[in-house]
Chain A
Amino acid sequence: MSNTTPKSMAAPGITRSKAEAVNAADTRELYKKREPIYPKLAHGKFRFVKWVIMALALGVYYLVPFLRWDRGPGAPDQAVLVDFAHGRFYFFFIEIWPQEIYYVTGLLIMAALGLFLASALFGRVWCGYACPQTVWTDLFIMVERMFEGDRNARMKLDRAPWSLNKAWRKTGKHAVWLVIAFATGGAWILYFHDAWDTLANFFTGTAAPSSYVFAGVLTFTTYTLAGTMREQVCTYMCPWPRIQAAMTDRDALNVTYRIDRGEPRGAHKKNDSWDNRGDCIDCKQCVAVCPMGIDIRDGAQLECIQCALCIDACDDIMGKVGRPTGLITYETDDNIDRFVKGETPRYPFIRPRTMVYAVSLAIVTALMLGALVTRTHLELNSQRDRNPNYVRLSDGGVRNGYTVNVINKANAPRVMDLAVEGDPAIGVRILGAPDLMPGQIEIGPDRSQDYVVYLTLPDDAIDGPREEITFVVTDQETGETARSPSVLITGAE
């Protein structure tokens, strides 16, 4: 493939790079040293979308800890807070206790199904736009570009001997990287303690040791992964590119080179005919902008994160040479084959795979929403003593012991009746309920409290090996109830 066309012969505005795909299959080595990649800045609609998503994602990450949400006195007022010390997770109006971790499980299942669905429809959109590795790498490359210029300038700078100019540019870049990395690690810890307090404590040296550890670790990983490792993370460390093969199919949209349009490729002089040749002028702009260092024209590759920057680069060129855009585009494998055969494309977005994902996602979402909406502020659990199974009393009666756990998720103390449904002859004794009427318990705000309850069944009321009973707790003010079924073992035949 010749790359010797004089610039004067090219269409106006066309730039030509001696870009080589450093990760192309042909040039791989054993014991591979990382080849630096110098992604060129792309311009176009996908680059714009990526800027917007980057701004949103970073904005959410850095600013959310500072949002406030009034939960009343005694409760933290941080809108999003993972409070390990007190075992609570706060998300705006939602408060989750450790035993409700299934909400998080549900969220993870929803995220996984959403990822599957998105992959089946649009390929690796997560990798290309939203993955933190992609977002932060993009940000770091932006900084690099600010200090060292675009692709050619950076390559030149790296080849150049050390000078004051090179030194300050490199130093400045790494300094800003470190600041961003520290801000990333620093923002992380704000999610686990009150953000303003943590901020103040952090710089006066009085924050929790874990805060410093996590801020340090995440500063290091952000700097390393986004600054120096970049595409290596996606190619070697992330399992998703491997899983991806099972997630997409021939009908999923992928960033694809239209081989039917492009080939045979070759340099094109300004007034040459477009007959008997493809639209690809082999300008390698798609390779120059690629942050993964691959050539999209080689076809689907596991390195490709489908960031679509090559689409922007190619569309730009196609516009300048006067050919239709979309030589590199979101297209399905199936349609590429159809184009080659001269058939019309089809886009079966509704197919069994997407339906299964969509319906599963809808079901899980509905279940989780249902659970969230019907979440009560009162819970009751009971555990019957197994050792001893029952206690025979001197008068022939029988007693069973229970640990009854009452959870008050409301942010106010509550007085409640704790009663037992079942044989009316059953006597109830609750340990540790002072200064109240019999059968009453008082439980503090936002608390889980265990009570020891002894149930006694008199001799003359025993008429079988077991009695079905139910513990019922009733809020005296609101009438809210919670129930927990159990049994009373009599030991009788």
Chain B
Amino acid sequence: MSEHDETRETDAHSGTETTGHEWDGIKELDTPLPRWWLYIFYASIVWSVIYMVFMPAWPALPGLAGETDHTRGLRNHSERANVAEALDELAEMRASGFAALEGASIDEIESNPELLGFVRAAGEAVFGDRCATCHGVGAQGFVGYPNLNDDIWIWGGSYDEIRHTLQVGIRSEHPDTRFSQMPAFGRDELLSRSEIADVSDYVLSLSGVSADAGAVGRGQAIYDVQCASCHMDDGRGDRAQGAPNLTDQNWLYGGSREQIIATIHRGPYGVMPAWEDRLDDATIDALAAYVFLLGGGEDATARPTGQ
């Protein structure tokens, strides 16, 4: 039993000395700590020494610990190496999926639940990394960047067409890139301001928006000369030239009269990079299938133009 310290108060009920700390009449007992708590503390110190021997622990001067700037420990443990190993394992796991994808038609992909699951997972990951910046995480698109969920395709919506677009890009630096250019009718002074306004009214009327009849008539005359070669006489566009259908409700660069005037004025020049040299074929397959299966993909036999 310890010497009783006369200067310290002893709790009458428990017979234990108090620490002297008091909160609103509640006093703290100075209850003895069990000795094994100390043993655990000593064991922790021993453990830390063992850990330092086996695991990376200390910063080291360059050259003293090999190529790293810290002691490696007997286990030569490296999280960086672990990550590299895990990535290799991941690639190995994915390899079978990518192999199954090679040469598969979109019907085969869609009707094979495992392949479908693989495409949706792998495609979504690549899409998030490479495509979402412009097309949005959900591929919903923005002004100037098409929505990939719908059934509206400027260059074609079959699995093969989508894959080709991914490979060569649009107006990219790829030698075989999909290419077309709409003139900047206003900026290059091919049409006057009033002519552009008239054409805009006519284009609006193509998709059922009522516009001034006189302007529409004047605009149609200009359209037939300036626009119909690409967008076709009926305004339904031509996928071979990447000319959008002007008769639907979908507007890549905005569907208000002002936006249409601005589009004709400046002649848009939307660019999508070519991915052929940046992604391997299997990844492009997965990406094309993913985009196709967002819901808007078309049969390979689908209309070559916007018919």
Contacts and interface: CB of A to CB of B under 8 A. Distances in A.
Interface of A: 25-34, 229, 232, 236, 385-388, 391-394, 396, 399, 401, 429, 431-435, 449-450, 452, 454
B106 to A, nearest CB: 11
Interface in B89-145: 110-113, 116-117, 120, 136-140
B150 A392 contact: yes
B31 to A, nearest CB: 8
Contact of B249 (A31, A229, A232, A396): A396
Given A432-B110, A432-B117, A391 B35 contact: no
Given A388-B138, A388-B140, A434-B113, A28 B16 contact: yes
Contacts of B136: 387-388
B150 A29 contact: no
Contacts of B305: none
Contacts of A27: 1
Interface string B30-69: 1011111010000000000000000000000000000000
A449 B113 CA distance: 9
A399 to B, nearest CB: 6
B88 to A, nearest CB: 21
A405 to B, nearest CB: 13
A265 B32 CA distance: 31
Contact of A452 (B35, B120, B249): B120
A314 B35 CA distance: 33
Contacts of B36: 34, 229, 232
Contacts of A432: 110-113, 116-117
Contacts of B295: 391, 399, 401, 429, 454
Interface string B288-307: 00000111100000000000
25 contacts: A25-B14, A27-B1, A30-B2, A30-B17, A30-B33, A31-B33, A32-B33, A33-B35, A34-B34, A387-B138, A388-B139, A388-B140, A388-B149, A391-B147, A391-B149, A391-B295, A392-B150, A392-B250, A393-B150, A394-B249, A401-B294, A432-B113, A432-B116, A434-B111, A435-B111
B15 interface: yes
Contacts of A25: 14-16
Interface residues of B, number: 38
Interface of B: 1-2, 14-17, 30, 32-36, 38, 110-113, 116-117, 120, 136-140, 147, 149-152, 245, 248-250, 293-296
A302 B43 CA distance: 29
B69 to A, nearest CB: 31
B155 to A, nearest CB: 15
A161 B139 CA distance: 83
B35 A394 contact: no
Contacts of B150: 391-394, 399
A464 B137 CA distance: 27
Given A388-B149, A394-B152, A394-B248, A30 B30 contact: yes
Interface pairs A-B: 4 shortest CB-CB: A387-B138, A434-B111, A388-B140, A32-B32
A426 B75 CA distance: 62
Contacts of B147: 388, 391
Which of A33, A386, A388, A452 counts the most B-chain CB atoms under 10 A from its CB?
A: A388
A394 B140 CA distance: 15
Nearest to B114: A432
Given A28-B15, A394-B150, 12 more contacts: A28-B1, A28-B16, A30-B30, A32-B35, A34-B36, A236-B34, A391-B150, A391-B296, A394-B151, A394-B245, A431-B116, A432-B111
